[in-house]
Amino acid sequence: MRTITHWIDGKPDTGSSGRTSPVWNPATGEQQAEVALANAQDVDRAVRSSRAAFQQWSQSSLSARTKILFAFRELVNANAEQIAELITDEHGKVLSDALGEVQRGLEVVEFACGIPTLLQGGYSDQVSTGVDVFSFREPLGVCAGITPFNFPAMVPMWMHPVAIACGNTFVLKPSERDPSASQLVAELWAQAGLPDGVFTVLNGDKEAVDGLLDHPDVAAVSFVGSTPIARYIHERASANGKRVQALGGAKNHAVVLPDASLDFAAEHLVAAAFGSAGERCMAISAAVAVGSAADDLVAAVSEKARAVKVGSGRDADSEMGPVITEAARDRILGLIGSGETQGAELAVDGRGLTVPGHENGFFVGPTVIDRVRTEMDVYREEIFGPVLSVVRTDTVEEAIALINANPYGNGTAIFTSSGDAARRFQRGVQVGMIGINVPIPVPMAYYSFGGWKDSLFGDKHIHGPEGVSFYTRAKVVTSRWPRAEMPSGASYHFPTAT
């Protein structure tokens, strides 16, 4: 059995715990590798190596860092297919989707290549007679990233290129379910010329995470994953005095008004609900059909859902792959059943799907549940599978109120041909990322990504300008170079400008 190791001090490292976790191929249902799980000693060794590397890396020039970032950009681009294949084999998503994920991660690397401009400070001349003030930002130290299974390359790339460009060192704790992409990324950083210890991969579960949250030499923690764990990470790391951004789960609504092109909306809803088997934090999991849009929308969505080609992510014809584990599949099937027993209507039932040649794979077919009410489990739970719930409302105001009553606030979308309705929507919803006739409004790398309410704990969104701000802290210098003939200006009252 292949063992996926840690990456510490610029080389593979098997760790000392002796504990491992299975890594499955979700399309075949077979175990294909095991991943080493770090213990507290491994965490300490990794953080010490990272701390030692910080001494030099934080002093490296902007041009030296930029050269390495550009080289890394070229290497990720050249190896995009290989990274995508590792993702497909461990996560299950179709290869074209995995390639798209690498591309979106690459865009953050490209953003980070502009670090000399992003770190430009401010300068005020002569704020008082003979006194100047200037400000600049410095790196924090060892930054940790704890990431989810659903984007094993992109989500870590929301973090490490920006953290490293800012002069920090970075310890990545990827999901134990699909860890291989991170190993390859570590090799690419090394090939790009990044000094040993600046980028570390520490595989593991709760033990590794807790070790990072409690380690005195970890300065900041970026987390992306489910809401209960995000809340826990935020509380524990904050209590330990660390800077924290913890992005959580989601329930993303797409509102469809009667004046929208229903065919256009249905096509986009199906892609946004079932792409990557619904395992995206920006997936649309609730369609809110307003007024007379509902019946035609459900009919159009159902027809398209039935036509989705489900199969192995390695099969070029597949549009949707399996879900991540057998347990995830069983949980999703159970939730679909609860929708039925709680009184919703199954317009398309994805249970019982088998894929010829992949009978043991973790597949769930696209599912559309109509007449869902907000008290039902399918609405309340983040299903994280290929299930689209349709909730019906009479007005757009009712739709906005429904979204605002939901504890999550990651992404949302509206389909309409009315600029006025779209504007009322964008101003009225308490959600961080909004699409207007765009179902999955993931911001470009030069904006920042983040939700509101239970979808994000902490102040800063991730990557983009807020990422640079998160991974640095400001210094402001007030400076005077006195000449002999100048009055000293010293006094016992509080200093004021003269």
Report the run of H or E that residue 287 belongs to, with start and end: strand 284-290
Of 241-270, binders to ligand NAD (CB under 6 A) are: 247-250
Short-list 158, 63, 184, 157, CA closest to 117: 63
**For ligand NAD, the closer CB: 248 or 339:** 248
Stretch of residues binding ligand NAD (CB under 6 A), selected from 72-80, 128-136, 222-230, 337-345: 222-230
Q: State in Å, rounded, how far the first CA of the chain is from the last one.
A: 74
Q: Does 200 bind ligand NAD (CB under 6 A)?
A: no
Q: Binding residue for ligand NAD (CB under 6 A) from 17, 58, 226, 437?
A: 226
Q: Degrees (nearest 5) of the Cα angle 56, 57, 60?
A: 90
Polymer length in residues for the chain: 498
Q: Tokens 């040649």 identify what position?
A: 357
Residue 480: burial class (beta carbons within 10 Å; 0-12, 13-18, 19+): exposed
**For ligand NAD, the closer CB: 205 or 259:** 205
Residue 477 beta carbon to ligand NAD: minimum distance, rounded to whole angstroms: 36
Residue 370 beta carbon to ligand NAD: minimum distance, rounded to whole angstroms: 24
**For ligand NAD, the closer CB: 131 or 212:** 212
**Phi and psi angles of residue 132, each rounded to the nearest 5 degrees, phi first:** -120, 155
Nearest-angstrom CA–CA distance, 107 and 73 = 9
Stretch of residues binding ligand NAD (CB under 6 A), selected from 18-26, 42-50, 142-150, 259-267: 142-150
Q: Binding residue for ligand NAD (CB under 6 A) from 11, 59, 77, 206?
A: 206
Q: Binding residue for ligand NAD (CB under 6 A) from 152, 179, 197, 225?
A: 225
DSSP bridge partners of 456: 247
Q: Binding residue for ligand NAD (CB under 6 A) from 176, 319, 454, 466?
A: 176
Q: Does 304 bind ligand NAD (CB under 6 A)?
A: no
- Contact, 181 vs 209, CB < 8 A? no
- Contact, 467 vs 450, CB < 8 A? no
119, two tokens = 């770190």
Among 113, 143, 166, 281, the one annotated catalytic: 281
Residue 146 beta carbon to ligand NAD: minimum distance, rounded to whole angstroms: 5
C-alpha distances in angstroms, 114 versus 107, 163, 176, 265, 337?
Answer: 11, 13, 32, 37, 50
Q: Binding residue for ligand NAD (CB under 6 A) from 149, 274, 457, 471?
A: 149
Stretch of residues binding ligand NAD (CB under 6 A), selected from 46-54, 127-135, 173-181, 421-429: 173-181
User: Among this protein's residues, is 281 annotated catalytic?
Assistant: yes
Active site residues: 281
Query: Can you give the binding site for ligand NAD, defined by CB under 6 A?
Result: 146-151, 155, 173, 175-176, 205-206, 209, 224-226, 229, 247-250, 281, 382, 384, 410, 451, 455
